[in-house]
Chains A and B, each alone.
Chain A
Amino acid sequence: MIALAPEKKKIMAEGHCSYSFGNLWKDFGVHYHTTDYEDRLALCSVIAECYRLEVFDKRN
């Protein structure tokens, strides 16, 4: 998805996506079914750090 802020206006950018459990092994060497609640919280924490919304702000 590519979105454009209305002309001469600023916006707070938003985005969303899905992260498959299958990627856990590829990215972190973890199988979802072997994790407990604490592990899953820790995984959320590291997955969250992998994401940034990429914005292209106008520079003057």
Chain B
Amino acid sequence: MDLSSFEQYFEEVRVVKTENASEMMAKVIHTVHDEAADAEQLDEVLNFIKTFGDEKNVNEDLAAYRFKGKKQEDLFLNMFGQMIMTMQKFLADKGMETIDKLLDSSNLKYLKMRITRESHIRDMIFMVEYPDKAEYKVYMKNLYETHGMYHRLNLRVS
């Protein structure tokens, strides 16, 4: 999925690790010295130590994304569902009627779906490796409709 398509449906969520670390730290110090602290307070201390005791967790920016809204979620799931159904039929036509056949490890298979140009261009590529013939079979299908003529695959290696 390219950025122009991704940004149609998803937005970044800023992950706030703690709203006020200094306030939380003061609370932890108080709990540690409080002989009457209950289990809930001690759990809070443990969570704080787990979070801030992990250097990777503290220093790493976590990238998180969510749907922009219900409408975008519905549009995305609808588009994705249709792509999956078309892909399923295409794979069945190529002899992959069952998941077992698709997962058969006797020869390597590679499947990829691509969504680009603000989701207008959608396609899939399915490759099967045949070591005995020393070749890959490459199958492609556009998951969007067009009029007119089309050629077989064009290889572009840059």
B interface secondary structure, majority: strand
How many A residues touch B, CB cutoff 8 Å? 37
CA distance A34 to B41 in the complex (A): 58
A-B contact number at CB 8 A: 134
Q: Is B145 an interface residue (CB 8 A)?
A: yes
Interface size on B, residues (CB 8 A): 34
How far apart sit A19 and B148, CA to CA, in the bound complex (Å)?
A: 26
CB of A41 to closest CB in B, whole Å: 7
Q: Are B150 and A10 in contact (CB under 8 A)?
A: no
Contact of A40 among B108, B134, B154, B155 (CB under 8 A): B108
> Taking chain A's interface residues, is the majority helix, strand, or loop, or is none over half, making it mixed?
mixed
Within the complex, the shortest CB–CB distance from A42 to chain B, in Å, comes to: 10
A18 touches B148 (CB 8 A): no
B149 within 8 A of A: yes
Q: How far is the CA of A18 from the CA of B125 in the complex (A)?
A: 13
Q: Do A14 and B90 form a contact, CB below 8 Å, given A19-B136, A19-B138?
A: yes
Known interface pairs A3-B150, A16-B152, A54-B151; A47-B145 also in contact (CB < 8 Å): no
Q: Which of A2-30 contact B (CB under 8 A)?
A: 2-5, 9-22, 27
Given the known interface contacts A19-B135, A51-B138, the answer about A12 and B143 at a Cβ–Cβ threshold of 8 Å is yes
For this complex, 22 residue pairs linking A to B, each with C-beta atoms less than 8 Å apart, are A1-B152, A5-B146, A5-B147, A12-B142, A12-B143, A12-B144, A13-B146, A14-B140, A15-B153, A16-B139, A18-B135, A19-B155, A20-B134, A21-B131, A21-B136, A22-B134, A40-B108, A48-B127, A52-B123, A52-B140, A54-B150, A56-B150
Tell me the A residues contacting B by CB distance below 8 Å. Answer: 1-5, 9-22, 27, 32, 37, 40-41, 44-45, 47-48, 50-58
Chain B residues with CB under 8 Å of chain A are 86, 90, 108, 110, 112, 123, 125, 127, 129, 131, 134-157
